[in-house]
Structure 1
Amino acid sequence: MLISVIIPVYNTMQYLPHCLRSVEAQDTDDIEIILVDDGSSDGSGEYCDDYEKSHENVRVIHQENSGASAARNAGLRAARGKFIHFIDSDDYLADETVYARFIKEMAPLSPEIVFSRCKTYSVDLTEVVQEQPPYLKEGFFEGDVLCDVLKHKYQMTMTSPVNKIFMRDFLIRNDLFFCKGIQHEEDEWLPRVISCARTAYFYNEFIYAARYMRPGSLSQTDTEERRTEKALSRIYIAVSGMEYMEQKNLAPDTLALIAEYYWDYLTDACVMCCQFRSRENKEKIYRELKKNRRFFDSRRYLKSRNRRMMGLMFKTLGVRITVRIIGIRYGK
């Protein structure tokens, strides 16, 4: 198979049939579908098994509930296609020609990443909530893909894997698996992936349709404990990401851009911390920042004077005072 479609499934029985119909309707037979049931309890797992029995190109993997990262990793390890496309089980493909167009126009060039566009709909699909803006260029690109993406500030390129198609060997060769146990694992994964790429294809057509915050999704859960986990994840993404990039011998301009990107994550975590009512939750953020003081040294890559001063304040004034200053300066 040329394309392996990997679909993590967790309690999305209401939407899964629509998702699978959109893949099944594709105008090509050169795909395999890997359904990874992440311990569903609503009948989704049984539906996957029945679907596998009636479709020769479908494989089902069952695992205990471990999260989307583990499910995607399991699918990636099992995949046999030259290219990988991750789909969320409550979303669907834009039309029946998505993969046929990819096979005809892009696959012959063997890009490591294809950047396409996504359209987000209301849960009932009656209105468009968001359209990803077009890329400034279109076609095959060879060079510093990360610098190009960061420089143009392309929306949804660093935070969404579903509007992209990846070469499987490229992911495996660079050990590009998802990190488990954090929120918004895509935000940690994609910068690493893009930093390893030297070829890409920018495609201005819509290939993917997403549902905006379906009922019961994690993105709709808004408690202080949940926001604390989100802030801790943001710190982890910033610290681990900067450490990864420093080891890659990136061009100075690229390193400056990615440092700015990760400092945005750290700033966001500090602003959230200032909004917490619980002293215990604030202390969790303070401890995590103190544990990762080495990140503050990355201020030397920044071109922004304000951000460099922020890094210096962490070093001289300490974590607690600096977090409060950031909260006042950047909080709403």
Structure 2
Amino acid sequence: MSEARNTGIKNSNGKYIVFIDSDDFINCQILLDFLSKDDTDMPDVVFLNAVKYDKGSVSYFGEDYQPEKILNQSKVEVLKGLCRFRKFPGSAWNKIIKRELIIREKLFFERGIYSEDIEWSMRLFNAATTFSYLDGCYYYYRQGRKDSITGTVSEKSIKSLLYILEKNAEMEFNRDISSYLYSFLSYEYLVLLFIMTSKNIECDADIKRRAYHLRFMLLKSNKLIYKLIFPIITLLGVDITGRILKAIRGNI
């Protein structure tokens, strides 16, 4: 998928870019409404609503955007508002992105890994300066997709997420937004610990050691609950903490 997206970016010539996965569909009217607006002062990133669908039924996706926390707000306030979400809003397909920003900042997708949207979104949030939001149901995401990291766990999915977290741990984020970006990373770190406990996976000592080392990200988050998990991992290790997270899934 990364290669297809990168090819699309390189061959694009419009002002904005959207990403649509092959088994999903969109409400084109939302895009038409956006394109009809005055483009003299258009944002770098526009957030869009998404729902899950499965055999005709539609369910809420879980991202509860509050327009007043995005529209006409500073970057710091926008990211602060996004931290309210339980899940990191890191998908590429629920956003409209200014093409100029993608090209200037070389926001291409890394090849050969799973969950490439997470790695890409961290760079996007660090680089973008202006944000907006469009109301209405735009993206219809097919329920039960195989690309969900918590749905289908493999050794590669664990190694990919571990690699993404290690790469971002070395990034230099803008100081005024770093705590919010580390909150997003902390969420994905807890996902990593969660999936490492999967019955069909036996993580070796090196993976566990690297995951344990990354616990420092929790202390850089702006969320108290993440900070409180740090001493638990330090005391009990990643295995037991992962099993605890699995037992209380949905409450963090």
Instruction: Indicate the TM-score class for this superposition, using the shorter chain for normalisation.
Output: 0.7 to 0.9
Q: TM-score of the superposition, structure 2-length normalised?
A: 0.81
* CA 328–87 in structure 1, closer or farther in 2 if over 3 Å, else same: closer
* CA 197–146 in structure 1, closer or farther in 2 if over 3 Å, else same: farther
Q: Which residue of 2 aligns with 1:228?
A: 155
Amino acid at match of 2:11: A
Q: Which residue of 2 aligns with 1:13?
A: none
- Pairing 1:153–2:72 present: no
Whole-Å Cα distance in 2 between the matches of residues 84 and 174 of structure 1?
Answer: 14
- Pairing 1:249–2:171 present: no
Could you tell me how far 1:266 is from its partner in structure 2? 2.4
Partner of 1:331, secondary structure, is helix
Structure with higher RCO (Cα < 8 A, 6+ apart): 2
- Pairing 1:282–2:203 present: yes
After superposition, what is the alpha-carbon deviation per residue over 1:214-254, rounded to whole angstroms, capped at 9, x for unaligned?
A: 6xx4449966xx4322222222222212322xx12322xx3
Q: Which residue of 2 aligns with 1:15?
A: none
Could you tell me how far 1:181 is from its partner in structure 2? 1.6
Q: Which residue of 1 aligns with 2:49?
A: 117
Q: Which residue of 1 aligns with 2:228?
A: 306
* CA 108–131 in structure 1, closer or farther in 2 if over 3 Å, else same: farther
Of 13, 16, 33, 1:80 maps to 13
Residues 118, 206 of structure 1: 8 Å contact kept: yes
Alignment coverage as a number of residue pairs? 242
Whole-Å Cα distance in 1 between the matches of residues 41 and 196 of structure 2?
Answer: 46
Of 186, 189, 197, 1:263 maps to 186
Q: TM-score of the superposition, structure 1-length normalised?
A: 0.63
Could you tell me how far 1:272 is from its partner in structure 2? 2.5
Residues 237, 262 of structure 1: 8 Å contact kept: no
Whole-Å Cα distance in 2 between the matches of residues 143 and 307 of structure 1?
Answer: 28
* CA 325–154 in structure 1, closer or farther in 2 if over 3 Å, else same: closer
Whole-Å Cα distance in 2 between the matches of residues 271 and 86 of structure 1?
Answer: 28
After superposition, what is the alpha-carbon deviation per residue over 1:126-162, rounded to whole angstroms, capped at 9, x for unaligned?
A: 221334554212534443366234333286x623221
Specify every segment of 5 or more residues in structure 1 that has no aligned partner in the other structure, as ranges.
Answer: 1-67
Residues 45, 130 of structure 2: 8 Å contact kept: yes
Whole-Å Cα distance in 2 between the matches of residues 260 and 269 of structure 1?
Answer: 14
Partner of 1:179, secondary structure, is coil
Could you tell me how far 1:86 is from its partner in structure 2? 1.0
Specify every segment of 5 or more residues in structure 2 that has no aligned partner in the other structure, as ranges.
Answer: 248-252
Whole-Å Cα distance in 1 between the matches of residues 185 and 58 of structure 2?
Answer: 30
More strand by share: 1
Identity of aligned residues (%): 23
Whole-Å Cα distance in 1 between the matches of residues 58 and 211 of structure 2?
Answer: 41
Whole-Å Cα distance in 1 between the matches of residues 191 and 86 of structure 2?
Answer: 20
Q: Aligned-pair RMSD on alpha carbons? A: 3.0
Residues 47, 132 of structure 2: 8 Å contact kept: yes
Q: Which residue of 1 aligns with 2:250?
A: none
Partner of 2:18, secondary structure, is strand
Whole-Å Cα distance in 2 between the matches of residues 222 and 92 of structure 1?
Answer: 21
Partner of 1:275, secondary structure, is coil
Q: Which residue of 2 aligns with 1:128?
A: 58
Determine which structure has more spread, i.e. the larger CA radius of gyration: 1
* CA 111–196 in structure 1, closer or farther in 2 if over 3 Å, else same: same
